[in-house]
Amino acid sequence: MSSTASGAAKPTVTVTLDGTNRSTTLPLLSGSIGPQTVDIRKLYGDLGIFTFDPGYGATASCESKITYIDGDAGVLLYRGYPIEQLAEKSDFIEVAYLLLEGELPNAAQLEAFRKGITNHTMVHEQLRRFFDGFRRDAHPMAILCGVVGALAAFYHDNLDINDARQREIAAYRLIAKVPTIAAWAYKYSIGQPFMYPRNDLSYAENFLYMLNAVPAEPWKANPILSRAMDRILVLHADHEQNASTSTVRLAGSTGANPFACIAAGIAALWGPAHGGANEAVLKMLTEIGKPENIPAFIREVKDKNSHTKLMGFGHRVYKNFDPRAKIMKDTCHEVLGELGIKDEPLLDMAMEMERIALTDDYFISRKLYPNVDFYSGIILKAMGIPTHMFTVLFAVARTTGWVSQWKELIEDPSQRIGRPRQIYSGAVQRDYTSVDRRG
């Protein structure tokens, strides 16, 4: 223990090198909730040793006030508000304000924010030309990654990320423009004309409009689909220091252009172990084909040599139900019911797979539960969203979380460039030999 100025004991951890009299005392830090954290910043200086944590499963990379997850209790809070309450009572624009600014907006703040986002939904007309360079069958995530990265070319020279107002404008531009680019990536892949955003629609309605409308006929928002889309965006908005958010933070820590940082986040999210899982779940369920094939598939998953994973199951942090999966499952039933879809074989399959997995010791012993991706694809398919657009939708929602985390990083006076170390197990120093002397 060390003591504070007032004499109160401050918790510490002492590390001693076995067989030596060398040790150091490290501060034990506490947040407002969650596990205590050993501050190891002086460990290498005192004892000449690193810590080893591949995948950073037990490492706090930063201090944040945005999102809190209790993986054992299945709790997810955005700025302290439970995801269940926000999904039921709030909407995406209000949640975006909450994540970005830290508090729920009053009526005037909400209206100003909604207007601010709406007024940035259009993109520079020249950006349209970037799409033409892609093959028509390019994956929309490849297009989204490329075109969002290209935004950096339109907002770079006069962008000072140390200026609060310019950070705010960059945040608004990204939250507002990513849905437009995402919808255009889809329209490009099906050869239909791009639909420009409309200022009379909500964020979710506008995204559905740009995805589904055509110039040849009027388009009318479907309140069921708009509400479902809005809720899906809320559920995917942020999730602490996941792989894509950590990518955005690492890129942001170098002072890189925020549009380029978000493009890096999109790239990381695309992987099937992360945001690409929703697309992989649909592919898995379709390949299994019918409920009677599920036991054979489960056997394959349990066979390590198959390298087959039950997509949409498991999580690095949640060792209990992912609270988003529960809400997504309820929303699934609601949307299918309201759309009059009585018989959705994929939903029946998913529910049977969940039932079997949750009674199988392989999954129970490894604390594998459905995650956010397990049911989302079934809703999106019922809403008419094509499978290869599922992760794009995830990126549209997560842009708000990435931008909020990027802003918090830049505004953190203690932030430094991210630079992990390693255990080096390669060749020790040796001298060059000319080719005629090699074996």
Residues assigned a catalytic role: 315, 373
Give rounded-to-5 percent helix, strand, coil for the chain. 50, 5, 40
Which residue, 105 or 370, is less far from ligand SDX as judged by CB?
A: 370
Regarding beta strands 37-38 and 23-29, do their DSSP bridges make them parallel or antiparallel, or are they unpaired? Answer: antiparallel
Which residue, 112 or 273, is less far from ligand SDX as judged by CB?
A: 273
Q: Which of 144, 285, 372, 389 binds ligand SDX (CB under 6 A)?
A: 372
Query: Is 260 in contact with 172 (CB distance < 8 Å)?
Result: no
Q: Smallest gap, in angstroms, from Cβ of residue 315 to ligand SDX? A: 5
Q: Smallest gap, in angstroms, from Cβ of residue 149 to ligand SDX? A: 20
Q: Smallest gap, in angstroms, from Cβ of residue 292 to ligand SDX? A: 20
By CB under 6 A, residue 273 contacts ligand SDX: yes
By CB under 6 A, residue 265 contacts ligand SDX: no
Query: DSSP letter at 119?
Result: T
Which residue, 180 or 371, is less far from ligand SDX as judged by CB?
A: 371
Q: Which of 310, 353, 397, 409 binds ligand SDX (CB under 6 A)?
A: 310
Which residue, 145 or 311, is less far from ligand SDX as judged by CB?
A: 311
Note the maximum CA span of the chain.
Answer: 80
Which residue, 155 or 313, is less far from ligand SDX as judged by CB?
A: 313
By CB under 6 A, residue 299 contacts ligand SDX: no
Three-class DSSP category at 387: helix
Q: Smallest gap, in angstroms, from Cβ of residue 120 to ligand SDX? A: 25
By CB under 6 A, residue 267 contacts ligand SDX: no
Query: Is 114 in contact with 230 (CB distance < 8 Å)?
Result: no
DSSP for 237-293, please give it: S--SS-HHHHHHHHHHTTT--HHHHHHHHHHHHTSTTTTTHHHHHHHHHHHH-SGGG
Which residue, 201 or 349, is less far from ligand SDX as judged by CB?
A: 349
| Stretch touching ligand SDX by CB under 6 A, among 108-116, 158-166, 168-176, 306-314 | 306-314
Pull the structure tokens for residue 12: 């510490």
By CB under 6 A, residue 198 contacts ligand SDX: no
CA dist 195 to 206, 217, 222, 228, 304, Å? 10, 12, 17, 21, 47
Q: How far apart are CA 278 and CA 380, in angstroms?
A: 10
Q: Smallest gap, in angstroms, from Cβ of residue 273 to ligand SDX? A: 4
Pull the structure tokens for residue 239: 């999730």
Q: How far apart are CA 205 and CA 431, in angstroms?
A: 65
By CB under 6 A, residue 364 contacts ligand SDX: no
- Quickly tell me which residue has 């989204």 as its tokens: 144
Burial of 115 (C-beta count, 10 Å sphere; 0-12/13-18/19+): exposed
What strands lie across the sheet with 37-38, from one edge to the other?
A: 12-16, 23-29, 37-38
Q: Which of 105, 179, 252, 314 binds ligand SDX (CB under 6 A)?
A: 314
By CB under 6 A, residue 366 contacts ligand SDX: yes
Q: Which of 368, 383, 389, 397 binds ligand SDX (CB under 6 A)?
A: 368
By CB under 6 A, residue 282 contacts ligand SDX: no
Size of the site for ligand SDX (CB under 6 A): 21
- Helices 277-288 + 390-410 axis angle, to 10: 160
By CB under 6 A, residue 371 contacts ligand SDX: yes
Q: Smallest gap, in angstroms, from Cβ of residue 282 to ligand SDX? A: 12
| Stretch touching ligand SDX by CB under 6 A, among 12-20, 124-132, 366-374, 430-438 | 366-374
Q: How far apart are CA 156 and CA 163, in angstroms?
A: 13
Q: How far apart are CA 142 and CA 266, in angstroms?
A: 9
By CB under 6 A, residue 388 contacts ligand SDX: no
State the residue number with the nearest CB to ligand SDX: 314
Which residue, 344 or 373, is less far from ligand SDX as judged by CB?
A: 373
Which residue, 176 or 310, is less far from ligand SDX as judged by CB?
A: 310
Pull the structure tokens for residue 265: 């986040």
Q: How far apart are CA 233 and CA 231, in angstroms?
A: 5
Q: Which of 120, 187, 239, 407 binds ligand SDX (CB under 6 A)?
A: 239
Q: Which of 316, 326, 333, 388 binds ligand SDX (CB under 6 A)?
A: 316
Using CB under 6 A as the criterion, which residues of the chain lie in contact with ligand SDX when the complex forms? 239, 242, 273-275, 277, 301, 309-317, 366, 368, 371-373
